[in-house]
Structure 1
Amino acid sequence: MDNERESSVRNLFQGSRKKPGQSTAKMGNTQVDRYNASIILFYFLGIMTQVTNNFIINPQLYWRYKFRTIGEPWDPASNTTNEMQNDFTAEFSVVANTAAVIGLGIAIVVGRLFGSITRIFGGLCGFIVGFVVLSISAMINTDTWQKEYLCSVLVLFFVLTCFGSVFLVALFEMAAKFTPNYYAATISGQAVCGIFSSAIQILTLMQNVPASTSGLLYFSVAIVCIVLTTLAFYLTMRNSSFFRYHLEQVKIQEDQKEEITKDIIFMVLRKQLLYSLVMVLVFGATAMVHPSITSTVREIETLKLKEKIAVLEKENSDLVNKIETMRQEHRNTELELEKKLKRIMQPEKKWCRWTPEDIASAISLRSVTA
């Protein structure tokens, strides 16, 4: 009798295991992520979370040309800069950090009014409109109103960053309903965006793209990427039963809204205190290097190829670090699961001594590591 019960519990544990790209729907039907379309989509959605920061700040030669001293010969290799050129990167960094904080507050308010799918589509559409405006301005002569143009660009960047905050929160809400490898794909996509934009920067430097059109190249590439990602998101949502199944879980979760009390908020803050301090240190150290240092990369006559790929190597290191972090978290979860199962499945224990908390904890751990 004990053997039969032990066998049934083992089957229960094994039944809760799901392969990557696979989930069990109602009535026992298994949904499969065909061609890994959903996980590829999450890579691109992760790229979109950083597209405003990387594709606007990186064309430094274009911004130097736009804010050059009028009446003096333009020399892209010159290290002499005016006041507007010197303050440009600092002003963008201040606007980006301010907009990120305000954008999170907006994301909380908007999240109570609209579903995650609506917010994701809204964020992508906002990105498209913003980069279209930047592309049009790249083809306009702004020499006679440089200060006004700088203010308008900063305002537009502020709005795009707020859109990005709303988009980021909605994306992570949706990714949390999938298996952990889909969440990891979103994190990896954020690092891939930096690599992609740095590669474009290197190509523009190597091909001697004119400063007046280098910005248009960046913005056009960003528009193409955003449009393709939006179409891929729509088609996947429409044609993939695997993706639709998880979207239904998101809608069910959104319909079951719970009241958030002060006790819950303080409890979450206490549990996240250590992680928050680590994030402050990591992002603080990163902010000292990028974009304040990496954005100053420009073409000079003695520049060698290995120096041109320095920024790309930096972004590659960021990607490798994020991937290894996700793998280590996965291994730690597997070890915790193994200890839990050994404690539950000891032969000398009887069925009556297996507490419901032990069984529920083991099942939840198996679901997380699937």
Structure 2
Amino acid sequence: MVKMAYSVNTTPLLDEYDSENEDERQINPEVAVRDDKPLFKASEPKDKYYMSYLIFYLLGIVTLLPWNFYVTADDYWMYKFRNTSINSSVVNASMKRTPLQAEFTSYLSVASSFPNLIFLVLNTAISHRISLNKRVMGSLFFMLLLMLFTLAFVNINTDNCQQLFFGLTLTTIVLLNVCSAIFGGSVFGVVGKFSPFYITAVIGGQALGGIFAALAEIAALAIGASSTHTALVYFIIGNVTIVIAIICYVVLENTVFFKYHISHHPEINNFQGEHVHFEICYKVILKKMWCHGLSVFLTFTFTLSVYPGVTVLIESEGKGHGNKWNDVYFVPTIAYLLFSVGDYLGRLLAGRILKPKNISILMILSIARFIFIPLLMLCNAQPRHYWGVVFDKDYQYILILFMCALSNGYLANIVAIYVPKIVDHHEKEIASSIMTIFMGIGLALGSAVSLFMVRLL
């Protein structure tokens, strides 16, 4: 923390009027008001053609690309972990899921969320020791190598070593999410220095990434090829996307607009020409934003408790009757595409409406989302042993899932927008990184709970 005690008010004469500080000065005229802005501020360069905005959108997509591409490739994983006594190049819709098929998505969530959380914390701690460029470019290159490793296994026959392939896949997911955490934490940290317009771009990009992955999966399925050929096309798209992101980031970091916003100013001249050094105090930042962090933690905990672990098991009411919509396209379209669209719309609405501003109301709304856990558990998820099916119609499940996604996106974005506004300028990067930690804790806890929820069905 910075402690400043001057005997006189040192606010610059040309500074903006601050009513809160004015009230404090009236009560105690000896209180010094710190101004962390230079007297003459350089004009902000323009984001030509919204290039930086679009690149932040792409980077937002890539922050969750490993998660989205792995979790959405349901048809591929169902084929890899199928009952191998039935020789087929596709998964029969009428076949009962094997234990590996039923629990893979939940294990995937756990393998994604826990390393993600650990390295989000580490990234926040080392962000001032390792340059932004090294963190971003290093994580992207390792992410690309691991995705290429996944692509290589598509055409390798793993029928006789499913357990080994299961372990290798989860290990790859762990390493991918280490890279994703470092990359995502770095991107969120730096975008906190930009206006909320750009914060919305990254958060919106995360939701758009889910839409992108689902559309890629549906397009690959529409080819009508085998599960392995479909996965080959699908993972190639993922790898190409990462390559494009690497190129775009190199372009972004060399723009004047980007350099202007990320430039650090450890020394700021006050009116008397003195230099003020700002020190980061995590405790002070956390005290300002813990309610917002708790809100986003609850939001993602409740969502990940049932999505995608339970929702991927929810089947169409017409499954098994030979209709491609019910047998092939229902899960990728509803469980992934519809959820991602709802999540994306929720984030867009939050960026436009910016209400409620009261953190207590946001907390109440976050807690109220618990209702989606029992609602989705009562939909037609198969196989099940304990819970009965109450909502057996497709439209009922679609409505419940869409409202869950919409509320998730809205609350996640509005809290992320408010946080940089309640901390000082030099605290914004750390505050945004801490928010990703709260999100990571919610993802980790929700993923762990989803394993229990799947077995509770």
- CA-CA distance at 1:216 after TM superposition: 2.0
Q: Does residue 213 of structure 2 align to residue 192 of structure 1?
A: no
Q: CA deviation at 1:110?
A: 3.7
| 1-structure distance, mates of 2:14, 2:353 | 28
In the TM superposition, residue 186 of structure 1 has moved relative to its aligned partner by 0.7
Contact 1:52 1:160 in 2 (8 A): yes
The CA deviation at 1:209 is 3.4
Corresponding position of 1:280 = 297
CA distance in 2, matches of 1:277, 1:326: 20
Between 181-190 and 209-218, the greater mean CA deviation after superposition: 209-218
- 8 Å CA contact 1:58, 1:295 repeated in 2: no
Q: Does the aligned pair in 1 maintain the 2:216–2:237 contact within 8 Å? A: no
AA partner of residue 319 (structure 1): Y
1:243 aligns to 2:271 (yes or no): no
Residue 76 (structure 2) pairs with residue 62 (structure 1): yes
1:94 corresponds to:
110
Partner of 2:56: 42
Task: Choose the corresponding residue for 2:308, options 278, 288, 291.
Answer: 291
1:76 offset after TM fit, Å? 2.9
Bigger drift between 274-283 and 114-123 goes to: 274-283
Q: In structure 2, give the amino acid aligned to 1:196.
A: F
User: Which of 343, 348, 358 in structure 2 is aligned with 1:318?
Assistant: 343
Matched, 1:146 2:167: no
Structural mapping, 1:215-254, within 5 Å = 215-238=231-254, 240-247=255-262, 249-250=263-264, 252=265
Runs of 5+ consecutive residues of structure 1 not aligned to the other structure: 1-7, 14-23, 334-360
State the alpha-carbon separation in 2 of the partners of residues 253 and 142 from structure 1: 55
User: Would the alpha carbon gap of residues 40 and 101 (structure 1) be closer, same or farther in structure 2, given more than 3 Å must change?
Assistant: same
Q: Does the 8 Å contact 1:106/1:162 carry over to 2?
A: no
Bigger shift: 102-111 or 91-100? Answer: 102-111
Q: CA deviation at 1:102?
A: 1.7
SS at match of 1:162: helix
Whether contact under 8 Å (1:117, 1:170) holds in the other structure is no
- Of residues 297-306 and 39-48 in structure 1, the stretch that sits farther from structure 2 once superposed is 297-306
Corresponding residue of 1:201: 217
Residues 220, 231 of structure 2: 8 Å contact kept: no
Take 2:133 and 2:179, find their aligned partners in 1: how far apart are those partners? 14
Q: How does 1:70-81 map to 2 (within 5 A)?
A: 70-74=84-88, 75-81=91-97
Q: What letter corresponds to residue 246 of structure 1 in structure 2?
A: H
Q: Which amino acid aligns with 2:64?
A: Q
TM value normalised by structure 1: 0.74
The answer to whether the 8 Å contact 2:106/2:308 transfers is no
Partner Cα separation in structure 2 for residue 31 and residue 331 of structure 1: 32
How far off is 1:321 after superposition?
Answer: 1.1
Give the CA deviation at 1:63.
Answer: 0.9
Q: Are the equivalent residues in 2 in contact too, given 1:61–1:211 (CA < 8 A)? A: yes
Structure 2 residue runs without a partner (length 5+)? 1-12, 18-37, 268-275, 359-420, 429-457
Q: What amino acid sits opposite 1:286 in the alignment?
A: T
Whichever residue aligns with residue 57 of structure 1, its letter is V
Contact 1:99 1:161 in 2 (8 A): yes
Aligned residue number for residue 169 of structure 1: 185
> How many residues are treated as equivalent by the alignment?
311
Is the counterpart of residue 52 in structure 1 residue 69 in structure 2? Answer: no
How far has the Cα of 1:143 moved from its partner?
2.1
Question: Shift of residue 304 of structure 1?
Answer: 3.6
- Work out whether residues 188 and 322 of structure 1, in 8 Å CA contact, stay in contact via their aligned partners in 2: yes
1:71-110 deviation per Cα after TM superposition (whole angstroms, max 9, x unaligned): 3233432331222222211211221222122222332344
Contact 1:31 1:241 in 2 (8 A): yes
Quote the sequence identity (%). Answer: 25
Aligned counterpart, 1:339: none
**Structure 1 residue 315: deviation in Å?**
1.4
Decide whether the 8 Å contact of 2:44 with 2:260 is kept in 1.
Answer: no
Taking the aligned partners of 2:357 and 2:291, their CA distance within structure 1 comes to: 18
Paired with 1:294 and 1:205, the residues of 2 have a C-alpha distance of: 20
Q: Deviations over 1:294-339 (max 9, x none)?
A: 4347886225489564342321111111122223339969xxxxxx
- Residue 313 of structure 1: SS of its match in structure 2? helix
Whole-angstrom distance in 2 between the partners of 1:57 and 1:259: 41
Q: Once the 2 structures are TM-superposed, how far is the Cα of residue 38 of structure 1 from its aligned partner?
A: 0.5
Structure 1 Cα separation of the partners of residues 161 and 147 of structure 2: 20
Cα distance in 1 for partners of 2:106, 2:200 equals 32
Return the match for 1:183 from 195, 199, 207: 199
Summarize the Cα distance change of 1:30–1:246 in structure 2 as closer, same or farther, 3 Å threshold: closer
Q: Residue in 2 aligned with 1:329? A: 354
The answer to whether the aligner puts 1:302 opposite 2:323 as a matched pair is yes
Q: TM-score, normalised by structure 2?
A: 0.61
Alignment partner of 1:113: what SS? coil
User: How far 1:9 moved relative to its partner?
Assistant: 5.9
> Where is the helix percentage greater, Structure 1 or Structure 2?
1
Q: Which residue of 2 aligns with 1:21?
A: none
Q: Which has the higher contact order (CA 8 A, sep 6+)?
A: 1
Check 1:71–1:285 CA distance in 2 against 1; reply closer, same or farther (3 A cut): same
User: Cα distance 1:273–1:244, how it changes in 2: closer, same or farther (>3 A)?
Assistant: closer
Shift of 1:200: 2.0
Quick check: 1:59–1:214 contact (8 Å CA) kept in 2?
A: no
CA displacement at 1:190 relative to structure 2: 0.6
The alignment status of 1:124 with 2:140, answered yes or no, reads yes
1:337 alignment counterpart: none
Q: Match of 2:193, SS?
A: coil
Distance 1:296 1:49 in 2: 26
